[in-house]
Amino acid sequence: MRLLIRLEAQANAVYDHAAHHQLRGRIWRALEGTEFTDLHDADRPIGLCFSNIFPWGDITEGEQRNVLVSATDPDLLRAVSAGLAQDPAFNVGEMPFEVAEITPLSPDVGEPGTRGTIESGTGLLVRIPPWRLDDYDIDPDGDGAVFWRPKHSMKPLQTQIQQNLDKKHDLFCPEELPGPTDREGNLFSEYELIKTFALPLEVTQGEERTVILSKWRFKYEVRDEHHRRHLNLALDAGLGERNALGLGFINIEEDSKVGPREALQAQEGVQ
């Protein structure tokens, strides 16, 4: 579940690529005074994520831009929507906008047999905890957790993503249903790395850290209804860590979904 928030620029502005903390702050201000206010300081995944303001590029007064907010709890999204409707000023750093329209969306990876591609809309943060470094034959530079990099191979990335999603499954899905690590197979069928990059990130007010992020294109084929639930959970809650800062927001690539019948016909055509 998510909200597509259409924004109208209130002045010319330079696009600020480092406005993550301000964007997060604006979304949280929409939740002030609601039952969700305390989630702000929660020391666990909270099932909330959001995109950058898009499309990127310098802004002209009157132009339309957008931001997507996803969540596992529809009441949380309704509270964000109500807060923005009550106060439509949407100022993010030096980029002044006003909320013009809010549309609810329900993206779905599709029924079993469906194929598609998911792309990371914001950087993905994956840390390898110190107690797992020997498992992956990683020689760390220090004592803390290690940010995933291509030289560490795909195994730690796939494992940490899946285990992180398992934690979210425990929090937001019925306990009797199996989580990602309870099932055979990887979350995605193909992992295409687009790039890795370092980003200074204000993790809390006044505390900035440089983190290593990566952007990806993931191919998937829905194996069954459990796999479908796991992929849709990633769409709602975000992938990897620090989703409440907007990291790990993912989207189904437009026009990439192929239903099971079309996928079978395409396979028979190849044979």
Q: Which residues are catalytic?
A: 41
Residue 110, token pair as written in the block = 């599709």
Q: 112, exposed or middle or buried, with CB in 10 Å at 0-12, 13-18, 19+?
A: middle
How far CA 129 is from CA of 72, 81, 136, 164, in Å, comes to 26, 36, 11, 12
